[in-house]
Amino acid sequence: MQAFETHMHRLRMEFDLWRENSPHHLNQTKDTTDYVYDALEKMSTEVREMKKKVAMRSKTFRVT
């Protein structure tokens, strides 16, 4: 869970940095939405991978 919280904090910092450095003439609503959805998709994938690893380790400990 600590990894998840760390990732969320990093994501917020990346978003703030991106927002500060992005040119104002761009369609910021679309760009922001795309960025957030991409980040959430990546985060969801990472959470699924963590769950798989936990499940695999749980099986290993039960067998041993």
* 46-62: pLDDT as tens digits: 888 988 998 888 887 77
Q: How many independent structural domains does the chain possess? A: 1
Task: Give mean pLDDT in consecutive 10-residue pieces for the chain, a chain of 64 residues.
Answer: 73 76 65 78 85 86 65
Cα distances (Å, whole numbers) of residue 50 to 8, 17, 27, 54, 62: 15, 27, 35, 6, 18
The sign one gets for the Cα dihedral 22, 24, 26, 27 is positive
List Cβ neighbours of 28 (8 Å cut-off, separation of 6 or more).
Answer: 19, 22
**Domain encompassing residue 54:** 2-63
Q: How far is CA 54 from CA 2, 16, 49, 51, in A?
A: 14, 32, 9, 5
Tell me, yes or no, if the pTM score tops 0.85. Answer: no
